[in-house]
Amino acid sequence: MSLSDAEVRKIAWLARIEIKEDAIAAYGRDLSGILDLIEQMNAADTSAVTPMAHPLAQAQRLRPDVVTEENQRDLFQSLAPQVESRLYLVPKVIE
């Protein structure tokens, strides 16, 4: 299965990863190779099988709706690239 440059650009956008133009073809080749590997699955007859998302046959555990975390904003924000007035700064979003 071969991916076109346009498809690579589309997937890159979905994943929000910049791929420079001169690298698109190489990524296309690598990804197409992986898809060829994956497509070996198609030979298997799985019509009678249910999907298995997880090794454990257990339901999501629930807990009481009670606050257990303490506010550690200063500690967490000490890791941020840009913070002001306890808010995380990003480039302007509104057009």
Partner 1 sequence: MGIVKNFLLRMHNQTIAELSAGLKAGEYSSLELTERFLSRIRQYGEQLNCFVTVSEERAFADADAADLARSKGQAGPLTGIPLAHKDIFCTKGIKTSCGSKMLDNFVAPYDATVVNRCRTAGMVLLGKLNMDELAMGSSNETSWYGPVKNPWDADSVPGGSSGGSAAAVAARLSPAATGTDTGGSIRQPASFCGITGLKPTYGRVSRYGMIAFASSLDQGGPMTRTAEDAALLLQVMAGFDEKDSTSVDRPVPDYRAALDAPLDGLKVGIPEEFFEHGLNPEIAARIESAIDEYRRLGARIHSISLPNMHLSVPAYYVVAPAECSANLSRYDGVRFGYRCEEPKDLADLYTRSRGEGFGAEVKRRILIGTYALSAGYYDAYYLKAQKVRHRISDDFKKAFEQVDVLVGPTAPSAAFGLGEKTGDPIAMYLSDIFTIGANLAGVPAISIPAGFVDNKPVGMQLIGDYFAEERLLNWAHRYQQATDWHTRMPQGFE
Interface contacts to partner 1, rule CB under 8 A:
8, 11-20, 27, 30-31, 33-35, 37-42, 44, 46, 49-56, 58, 60-61, 63, 72, 75-76, 79-82, 88, 90-93
The SS3 of residue 86 is coil
Among candidates 1, 2, 25, which has minimal Cα distance to 12?
25
Residues paired with 87 in a beta bridge? 84
Shortest Å, Cβ 22 to partner 1: 13
Q: Which is nearer to partner 1, 55 or 85 (CB)?
A: 55
Contact 3, 31 (CB under 8 A): yes
Shortest Å, Cβ 5 to partner 1: 13
Among candidates 51, 2, 10, which has minimal Cα distance to 28?
2
Q: Which is nearer to partner 1, 40 or 85 (CB)?
A: 40
Shortest Å, Cβ 77 to partner 1: 8
